[in-house]
Chain A
Amino acid sequence: MIPYLRPDNLEDALSALSEHPRTLLAGGTDFFPARVGKPITDNVLDLSGVESLRKIQQTADGFMLGGLTTWTDIIEAQLPPAFDGLKQAAKTIGGVQTQNAGTLVGNICNASPAADSVPNLLALEAQVQLQSVRETRMLPLEEFILGNRKTAKKEDELISGIFIPQPAEKGRGNFEKLGTRAYLVISIVMVGVVAELNESDEILNLKIAVGACSPVAQRLRLLEQEAVGQKLKSIKILPAHFESLEPIDDIRATADYRKKVVPELLLRAIKGVI
């Protein structure tokens, strides 16, 4: 039997992980729902006491969102307009209760296709900071999430932060979420976007990703390329821009529907940056 541990510093947490594989617990908003009516038999490393991980730091070249950054922390933080999409996503996750407890890192580690943080973090070109006693390594988020519920995190690693490279000064974020009710919504489709415009509202730079339409949210790079130079208000979305999406039928909607509403959501997300 391995005792429950709730260290108050990162070193102890890493050291515990180096000894035994453990289930990591932070906000608990995915951990407990997966264990309804079942005894909890996991060997748990509870990270919620590592206060040093709960901060958002501006660095020379970007922002480091500490590993325990909650949705509420994102909503309340002073961040550049490029983070607006992430902030909007934060406000639509579960209820305020979930926003107060749930962490961004938990959301990416859970690696659900419908994880609301992911399209936004992809549009922000987020990097994941994986830490173990062996090393600290950075992975682009696209390389971190490998599939549905699958990540590149090794057993002795934890995610100590999410790094967002300094967004362009004029970068603006936006988020479109499609769901069936007003609160407590799991997305049918969502789009995260960061766009940079010139004075005449022409697109200088676009980063855009779609979630819940493939095992992992996807950046739409062809659209990103072709958007450059277009006027925001008259931007064209073509089928080729999102043909890589492979949505499925589930309880929330049909695959066919998902694919058909994507262009409208892309338009709304892009046009909504201003």
Chain B
Amino acid sequence: MSTTEKTTVSFILNDIPQTLSVNPLRRFSDVLREDLGLTGTKVGCDAGDCGACTILVDGEQRYACLTAVGQLEGHSARTVEGLAKNGDLTALQQAFLDEGAAQCGICTPGMLMAAQSLLDRTPNPTEPQVLDALGGVLCRCTGYTKIVEAVLKAGQTSASEATPPSGSAVGSRMVKVDGKQKLTGEEIFSADHAPEDSLWLRAIRSPHPRAKFTLAHPEKVLNKYPGIVKILTADDVTGNNGFGIYPHIKDQPVLAKDHVRFRGEAVVALVGERDAVESVSEEDLGLTWEPLEAIRGWDAALSGKLEPVQAEIPDNILAEGLLKKNDVEKAFAESFAVAEGNWTTSAVEHGYIEPEAGYARKVGQRLEIFVCTQSPYMDQTEVAQVLGLELEQIRIIPSAVGGAFGGKLDLSVQPLVALAAWILERPVRCIYTRPESLASTTKRHPVQMRAKAGCDKDGMLTAYEYHGDFNTGAYASWGPTVADRVPIHCSGPYFVPNVFAKTRALLTNESPSGAFRGFGTPQAAIANDALLDELAEKVGMDALDFRIKNALRKGDRTPTNQLLENSVGQLECLESLKSRWDSWRKEAEVFNQKNTKLKRGVGCGSAWYGCGNTSLSNPSTIRVGINGEGKLTLYNGAMDIGQGANTIMVQICADALGLPASQFEYVMGDTDLTADAGKTSASRQAFVSGKATQLAGEHLRAQIIHLAEATENATLHLEQNGTSGSGEIIVADETGEHVIVLADILPQTNGDVLTGEGTFDPPTTPLDENRQGSPYATYGFGAHIAEVEVDTMLGTTKVLRLAAAHDVGKTINPTLVEGQIHGGVAQGLGLALMEEYVQGVSENLHDYLLPTVGDMPEIEVILIEDPEPLGPYGAKGIGEHALIPTAPAILGGIKHATGISIRHVPATPDRVFTALQEAGKNNG
């Protein structure tokens, strides 16, 4: 409990004098958010590592989380709420909107304030000045590219289309439908709202990777801290004290009982007044630990020397994946050239700037849970079974999501706040701290892999073999999915007649590894592209020509023997990079002749990725309705996690229906209001939910045409009459105008008078015992080339430029697709060069390194459109494809520059240096 009494602090805030009676040592960010209701200033770390809380103090950028409110005395502060005047965006905000500089929007207020401080002094800054000004704010979505462009273009006109006309929304650079609120601070993220009378919840978590524990006297806490209302333990869980994404694996306890399996596992939840829950110590609770030797890493998992992580799985092998096509052994024996190697990768953190947060409240015999999530319907199922309630008793209301990337597919605060609110019959909120978020939520799987590839003398691939052990941590999370997806994708977007792949998901006492953009495929691609480079060298071919020769084409069969009939743009992607590849490589070689310490190289990475679940039904249902006043609402269950699902679904629906996108309102993800559109993962929303949206729009249109007795090609015009009077649809065809008076129709679902509904489930087939069949309805394709510069004396690597070509089928919104690719590149760059999560060590954002604005290369995006007949207007996914090729391209660049093949990522300076030294290549 704070020893500090309140004092009076007077300062100017957004031009208005303020006098507060407040504990002067509180972080200003906290006072802004909790006392003054100015939640536009975000908190991502409380440690000056992320910059989301950047504000201006006397015109200079400062971290509000590192500023004691008492220090504001006599000063003047400005927050994001103090930018727009009377609802008019500033030139900077407008540029952010036009350029698509805000994706999820959680870093946006900090970025805006940092940029504003620069523009106030330097109205026409240079790019290096912009980079320096933004260097203290992290963004995980955008790759910074569009943010920098927006700052440079502030005040200039743009190519965006705020309101594309009817029939031309798809393909336009329509600005995000939720863009403006992300720029003004009005967007409500998970920590931005809770009922006034909410109690706070804080979980006490294990400091040990494996331990037994006892809780001697929790009741003493109640006496010492009157503000504590309830101490939840495993015994309080009303339903099943286990969750997990598979119906048959609910292995992760909400609150551990007697023993813990990873550092960060929750054992107790304190509920009460905020000060009290923050003050209780382990000693207060009588919590004592008996640390046990932990299983760390692949070898320990398989050695059998220690008790298994989970008693039911004695060999620690949670799941295995397999793929067998034809005969690799025979093919290798007959191959002209064979390349093989071993690689390991590290645990990688999603690094969304919004830590997990939310609240639950009991409403009658139901629970409402407000939370950041990418899977509201899965959350509903999980919370219901944890609490022992019926599905209908749980309502998930998603907040705006401040980045997710797979990390918000699993439960975090949901079961804790739900349980507390249900038991206490009071609203309960919880906000994870950054260390808590890092320690307790899932990671990208570290993998130890061995791969081998062969080709004939003409450079045609003959065989590919892959073995991967994925460290899945203490609980299942998405481990089995990773083990399943990797064998299918591991040989890359290339035709290989013989494939054998075997994967295992191994349990250890480390952070649960789960879903992270690519489900293991980005790791496997590192081995794949390295082997392709090696084979090309062995047969004396250019590495890109080798890929072009082997690229999957229409009519080819995949490793699962699926016939690719449509939308196979890999060849075009590679060919579109050819002229850049040739000139970049030549330029690098010229540079290298003149330089001894710095060496440049250009590498290529490739991606293909099946959109949607693997051989499993994964339908989406989307609804669109019009009410009596003419209000047109898209009920969109496809969670927008920053990527722009809210926007593209409106674009698709608008064109399917034949009305302008500007007439739409939308509801996102509320389980009471929207239908199940599955989870935002597996690059499925644009393809699967997009198709459902198109069908919903067409369904509504068909009803309108039918009511008006008009012909198919009629044009629609919607008269919206606010909250009074009737809306009208005027349907015009060659026979004239037909008017539908909406108020004359009886309201039905959601108060709408007309509702269109569309459902799409991508067609797949089951896979046989060798995983042969058609696991995905469509695949996205792509390739990146990256030029890097290695400082051979220090082992540091800088990515200078990168070109990314992707076959997206059809671009629904170029600005959003480019944003996905830029962000994927940034995450791939982090995977390649700097990101490594170590339990107990990198539990903050200064030891766990995300790329900053200064780490990004110049990126050129090339969009290939080989339409997918099943997709909406030909579209398919891009989310994961954008990341997969980056790391292989960078590592290939290092190889080209130095001759060094990096086998353990990230390629940190010490690893690159050591590899250079072992090869005798850092003598300058």
Contact = CB atoms under 8 A, between A and B. Distances in A.
A101 B63 contact: yes
B24 A184 contact: no
Interface stretch (B43-51, B291-299, B396-404, B876-884): B43-51
Contacts of B71: 6, 28, 46, 48-49
Contact of A49 (B73, B131, B851, B853): B73
Interface stretch (B333-341, B444-452, B724-732, B905-913): B905-913
Q: For this complex, into which size category does the number of interface residues on chain A fall?
A: 35 or more
Interface string B55-74: 00100111101111011010
Scoring A25, A42, A94 by chain B CB atoms within 10 A of each residue's CB, the highest score goes to: A94
A181 B851 contact: yes
B794 A264 contact: yes
Interface stretch (A32-40, A77-85, A232-240): A32-40
Nearest to A253: B910
Interface string B831-858: 0011010100110101101011111000
A29 B48 contact: yes
Contacts of B279: 39
Contact of A181 (B60, B73, B842, B855): B855
A96 B833 contact: no
Interface stretch (A135-143, A190-198, A254-262): A254-262
Given A178-B909, A253-B908, A183 B135 contact: yes
A273 B888 CA distance: 38
Interface stretch (B155-163, B433-441, B517-525): B433-441
A141 B844 CA distance: 30
A261 B793 contact: yes
B886 to A, nearest CB: 16
Contact of B24 (A39, A46, A186, A188): A46
Contact of B48 (A1, A38, A97, A181): A97
Contacts of B659: none
Contacts of B132: 91, 96
Contact of A2 (B3, B70, B909): B3
A184 B73 contact: no
Nearest to A99: B136
A182 interface: yes
B36 interface: no
A62 interface: no
A251 interface: yes
A4 B7 contact: yes
B311 interface: no
Nearest to B51: A95
Contacts of A57: none
A39 B1 contact: yes
B48 A180 contact: no
Nearest to B53: A97
B794 A97 contact: no
A180 B794 contact: no
A98 interface: yes
B66 A101 contact: yes
Contacts of A44: 4, 25
Contact of A251 (B3, B47, B794, B838): B838
A97 B914 contact: no
A1 B5 CA distance: 9
Interface in B620-663: none
B2 interface: yes
Contacts of B54: 97
A251 B851 CA distance: 16
A182 B144 CA distance: 13
B70 A4 contact: yes
Contacts of B63: 29, 97-98, 101
A261 B48 contact: no
B695 interface: no
A43 interface: yes
B849 A257 contact: no
Contacts of A94: 48, 136
Contacts of A214: none
Given A39-B279, A46-B70, A257-B913, A182 B61 contact: no
A28 B68 contact: yes
Nearest to B27: A32
A72 interface: yes
A3 B48 contact: no
B684 to A, nearest CB: 32
Nearest to B71: A48
B795 interface: yes
Contacts of B114: 95-97
Given A37-B278, A41-B1, A95 B137 contact: yes
Interface in A162-206: 178, 180-184, 186, 188
B916 to A, nearest CB: 11
A181 B854 contact: yes
Contacts of A98: 48, 63, 66, 136
B615 interface: no
Contacts of A186: 846-847
Given A180-B833, A253-B910, A6 B66 contact: no
B597 to A, nearest CB: 9
B542 interface: no
Nearest to B829: A181
Contact of A261 (B26, B46, B795): B795
Interface string B909-924: 1100110010000001
Contacts of B51: 95, 97
A184 B49 contact: yes
Contact of B917 (A100, A260, A265): A260
Contacts of A67: none
A178 B795 CA distance: 10
Scoring B278, B841, B909 by chain A CB atoms within 10 A of each residue's CB, the highest score goes to: B909
B124 interface: no
A215 interface: no
B61 A96 contact: yes
Contacts of A37: 46, 278, 433, 435-436
B821 interface: no
B60 A36 contact: no
Contacts of B45: 36
A98 B64 CA distance: 11
Contact of B847 (A41, A251, A257): A251
A181 B5 CA distance: 41
Contact of B2 (A25, A36, A40): A40
A113 interface: no
A182 B5 CA distance: 41
A27 interface: yes
B913 A100 contact: no
Nearest to B856: A182
A4 B4 contact: yes
Contact of B852 (A29, A184, A253): A184
B137 A39 contact: no
A28 B68 CA distance: 7
Contacts of A91: 132
A77 to B, nearest CB: 16
B275 interface: yes
Interface in A64-109: 72, 91, 94-98, 100-101
A9 B422 CA distance: 54
Nearest to B136: A95
Contacts of A101: 62-63, 66-67
Contact of A100 (B61, B70, B436, B844): B61
Interface string A99-127: 01100000000000000000000000000
Q: What are the nearest 9 A-B pairs in CB distance?
A: A95-B136, A182-B854, A183-B135, A257-B910, A33-B47, A37-B433, A183-B852, A253-B910, A28-B66
Given A3-B4, A32-B65, 9 more contacts: A1-B5, A4-B7, A4-B24, A25-B68, A29-B66, A37-B435, A100-B60, A251-B847, A253-B910
23 contacts: A2-B3, A27-B66, A29-B63, A29-B66, A31-B66, A33-B47, A33-B846, A36-B46, A37-B436, A41-B1, A43-B3, A46-B71, A96-B132, A100-B62, A178-B909, A180-B796, A183-B131, A183-B136, A184-B852, A188-B910, A257-B909, A261-B913, A264-B924
